[in-house]
Each structure stands twice: as C-alpha cells, then as structure tokens.
Amino acid sequence: MNRKIVTVLTFILFFVGTPIAHAAPTIVIQGGPYSGLKYDGNDIYLAIKGIPTSKGIYIFEAVYDTTGARPTEINPTAQINVIDGGKTDSKGTFAASDPAIHLKVAGTWIDPKTKKVTDCLVVTCALFAQYDYPTGSYSDLSQDQYFAPKLTFIAGGAPSAPKPATSAFTVFADGTQLSQTTPGTLYFEKEVKLKTISTKGSVRYALSPDPSGVSVCVLSGHRLRALKGSTACNLEVTVGTKTGYFPFFLKPSAQTVNNTNQTITVGQRLILRRLTNFGEAITFSNATPNICTLTNASVKAISSGDCVINEVAPASTNYLALNEKITITIK
C-alpha cells in the first residue's frame, strides 16, 4: 500500500477514536441516589442549573466509556430531555424549572436493534448529559459530561429512593421543611441546623458522594454547611430502613462589614474596618467632602451634618460584591 495512504488512514482512525477536548461543562447536575439501586428499576431525582436560555440537554443511562467519549450503548427506556422554557410532558421531556425532574434507570436492558443485552452488574453503567436542543445542537460537545460516572445496582433490589408522598418522616433545615424534588438553598459558609420528625426509628444523616470527587458540603452531626457558593449537594436522611434524598443548590453569600452608622462630634476621628467578613479589602470613597474628610480608612468630622462613606469590595465565586454606604452623623 502507498505510504501516504497508510499515513492518512492512521490519522483518520486516531481522530475518530479520540474524544474531542473541550472546556469543563457549565451546566451543573446533581441528584441521587446513584448507589444501592434496584436492579429492575429505580427513580433518580435530579437538580439542574445553568441551562442557557432556550436550550436543552439530553440525559440518559449508558455504559461508561473510559475514554470520556460519548457513550454508544444506551438504555432505550432511560432517557429524558430537559429544556429551558419547555413544558413537562409524559414522553420524557421536562421543563428546566420543574422541581421533580427524574428518570428511571435499570440494571439491565436490551438494544432494540442489535438485541445485545447490557448488564450493569458486569459493565459500568453511568448517567450522561449532552446538548440536544434546539435542532442542530447535537454536535455541540461543550456540555458533554458523565455527571454520575458509576451507578451501582443490587440484584434482587434495594428499595427505590422514596418519593415524598411515601416518606415516613419530615426533614427541616433551620425550621424550613425540605423537599425531595424541589432543591433547597445553601449559602457559602452558612451553617443550617437539621431536624427530622419521625414516629419511629433513629435518624442518620449523610451526603451523597459528589461525582467530581470534591466535597462541596460538610456535615457535622445535625449541622450542614456549604463549602462553595456554586454547584449542588445531596443530603441523605435515613430513618430506620427508609432513606430520603434532599438536593440543595449552593449559592454565594452576601459580604458584610461591621462598620455601623454612628454619631461623632466635629474634630473627632473614626477608624473604619478595612476587611469584609470574607477577608476582602474594602475600597472607601467620600460622598460628602464638605462634612468630613477621608484618609485611607480614617474619617474626620469637619462640619455638622451627615457624612456618607461608600464601601465596595469585589465578588468571588463564593460571595457577592459589597456595595454599601454608612452614614456618620456629625454634631
């Protein structure tokens, strides 16, 4: 065979078999359970955020591809579409705003074309997501992700994740009742106190492992705290033999500074705190230079009236920007 032809064929085979690299997905998908699943069918509830306006993602159960490429062995009955601005129907489409997005996975399935039987006790099964709406976006690889790279099934069947209507207990976070289908909200570094009301059985709290392998929440007894201001985490609450799964979206916290409105007299100085509660340096500006002077963080009263000082500090992925003002009354 001609050397040039061999070279070209080698390149083509390498290109086809190699997954295309792209930036990390921006759509965040979290849910559960991903382990102890009933072999003949188990509902998995999902909390999703970051779907762009008028876009949609295709989520399905498949055999995990160790190269990271799109899967080719797909469960024909475990597939849903989640669309921003869409409508939930009975055919596997969910509105992105729907609080009860879920799909039913199984430990085995048969390919309708090839008749091949897939057994998740033999191969590694996973949940995969990719763009698939609007038409033509299928070729966009930017959101391709194995967000649950390993589903664990138990032959003979562990119980499915309980739905809210059949739960034998009620869970609260700082007095607010939690839902297994509508995600709660946790703010960065803000701790909430958990309380479970049940007629019987001891209560155990746990966190579902994050698919990324990085802990984004932490449990200490019956207290739950967010370690990040984005993504999501999933709380598992077990009472006796029943387990409920309660998703949370994580959000950035507000920055604060302990500079309060005060009263001073002409000639006095007031030193302002220079750091926010998250350690960001504050930039000050004087809105009333005829009433007071401002040097770095030192305010001096020069005339009676209201001295207004603006305080700003930058945001991060974990907390919001600070943009406040304090009023110092000068007499």
The CATH H-level (homologous superfamily) assignment of domain 3-152 is Neocarzinostatin-like (2.60.40.230)
164-251: CATH class: mainly beta
**180/135 Cα distance (integer angstroms):** 32
**98/94 Cα distance (integer angstroms):** 6
Q: What is the mean pLDDT of the chain?
A: 85
Q: Could you tell me which residue, 137 or 148, shows the higher pLDDT?
A: 148
Instruction: Evaluate if residue 18 carries a pLDDT over 70.
Output: no
Cis preceding-peptide flag for 159 (omega within 30 of 0)? no
Rg (C-alpha) for the chain, rounded Å, is: 27
**154/152 Cα distance (integer angstroms):** 7
Summarised one tens digit per residue, pLDDT across range 154-179 is 876 444 444 443 457 899 999 999 98
**44/182 Cα distance (integer angstroms):** 13
Find out whether 141 and 20 touch, Cβ atoms under 8 Å.
yes
What mean pLDDT is predicted for residues 73-77?
A: 95
Instruction: Note the pLDDT of residue 209.
Output: 73
The pTM of the full predicted model, rounded to 2 decimals, is 0.62
**77/91 Cα distance (integer angstroms):** 11
Instruction: Evaluate if residue 128 carries a pLDDT over 80.
Output: yes
* DSSP annotation string for 92-142: SEEETT-TT-EEEE-SEEE-TTT-PEEETTTS-EEEEEEEEESTTGGG--T
**Quick one: tokens of 234?**
């999933």
Summarised one tens digit per residue, pLDDT across range 268-317 is 999 999 999 999 999 999 999 999 999 999 999 999 999 999 999 999 99
* DSSP annotation string for 202-264: -EEEEEPPPTTS---EEEETTEEEESSSSSEEEEEEEETTEEEEEEEEEEPBPP------EEE
User: What residue spans define the domains of the chain?
Assistant: 3-152, 164-251, 262-330
**Quick one: tokens of 243?**
């387990």
**14/75 Cα distance (integer angstroms):** 27
What CATH architecture applies to the domain 262-330? Sandwich (2.60)
Instruction: Note the pLDDT of residue 22.
Output: 57
Instruction: Note the pLDDT of residue 70.
Output: 94
